[in-house]
């Protein structure tokens, strides 16, 4: 039976699991439904350390934003931002500058509705409901928002979302469209699932996600390198997420990450 709660937007089918709400569940959030939790159980059977994967990916987002902010970035475009949880991009960026601007982008109604509630009255952050695989629509919405100045460097964030982009959608063209929209000195933060570490496990995860609205398409390191055309990778390059500029003593197993992470600077 579909759930109906006051914070769920009209028209949302709570009986269909989504990747955004699955991720929220794995991170310990409360913005998920019975169908999402049922999918999560299957996901955890395929990938028992999935909560670790989610935590490491979220930690990479934090480090990437802090790195960009430390290099002068004061505005961010967060593509496929998902459901708000602790450690949102605007919260992280404002440690460097209280007036750092963030435009979130997501097509999932629940993610958008919750972001609107959280960001209400915030003059430096907003969300638009668009599909990141349609760069022209996203970029037009970004310009219309008046929040981002595309004559100044932008931090583009594609963290844990490109594995939802099918090969038929031409991922390289999508990445190139966002690259071409920002000036030199901008940065791209990227992370996504890969089959390079545990191929059998990743194949099982792919099968599970076919039961959701958001099937996944893991990519090899070589495929990910192609998405950074026009960017200069910053050290340490494309690595398992816990190995990207870790803070303090890092005891996480890189193979458990199941995700490559990287940051590039547009030259």
**pLDDT tens-place string over residues 37-80:** 998 999 999 999 999 999 999 999 999 999 999 999 999 999 99
The secondary structure element, H or E, covering residue 119 is: helix 109-119
Rounded CA separation 163/171 (Å): 10
Query: In the prediction, which pLDDT does 7 show?
Result: 56
Residue 215: per-residue pLDDT:
94
Other Cβ atoms closer than 10 A to 51: 16
CATH fourth-level superfamily of 59-194+217-266: Vaccinia Virus protein VP39 (3.40.50.150)
Spans of the chain, pLDDT less than 70: 1-12, 86
User: Which is it for strands 125-129 and 239-240: parallel, antiparallel or unpaired?
Assistant: unpaired
Domain coordinates of the chain in residue numbers? 59-194+217-266
């Amino acid at each position: 039976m579909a759930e109906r709660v006051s914070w769920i937007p009209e028209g949302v089918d709570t009986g269909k699991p989504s990747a955004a709400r699955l991720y929220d569940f794995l991170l310990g959030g409360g913005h998920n439904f019975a169908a999402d939790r049922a999918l999560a159980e299957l996901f955890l059977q395929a990938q028992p350390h999935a909560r670790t994967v989610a935590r490491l990916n979220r930690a990479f987002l934090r480090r990437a934003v802090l790195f960009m902010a430390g290099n002068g970035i004061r505005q961010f475009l967060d593509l496929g931002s998902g459901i708000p949880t602790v450690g949102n991009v605007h919260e992280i960026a404002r440690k460097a500058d209280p007036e750092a601007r963030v435009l979130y982008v997501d097509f999932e109604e629940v993610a958008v509705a919750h972001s609107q509630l959280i960001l209400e009255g915030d003059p430096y952050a907003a969300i638009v409901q668009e599909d990141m695989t349609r760069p022209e629509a996203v970029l037009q919405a970004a310009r219309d928002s008046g929040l981002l100045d595309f004559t100044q460097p932008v931090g583009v964030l594609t963290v844990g979302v490109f594995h939802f982009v099918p090969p038929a959608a031409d991922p390289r063209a999508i990445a190139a469209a966002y690259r071409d929209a920002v000036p030199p000195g901008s940065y791209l933060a990227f992370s996504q699932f890969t089959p390079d570490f545990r191929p059998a496990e990743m194949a099982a995860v792919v099968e599970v996600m076919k039961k959701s609205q958001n099937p996944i398409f893991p990519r090899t390191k070589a495929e990910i390198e192609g998405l950074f055309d026009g960017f200069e990778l910053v050290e340490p390059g494309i690595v398992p997420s816990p190995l990207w500029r870790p803070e303090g003593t890092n005891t996480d197993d890189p193979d458990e990450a199941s995700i490559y992470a990287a940051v590039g600077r547009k030259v």
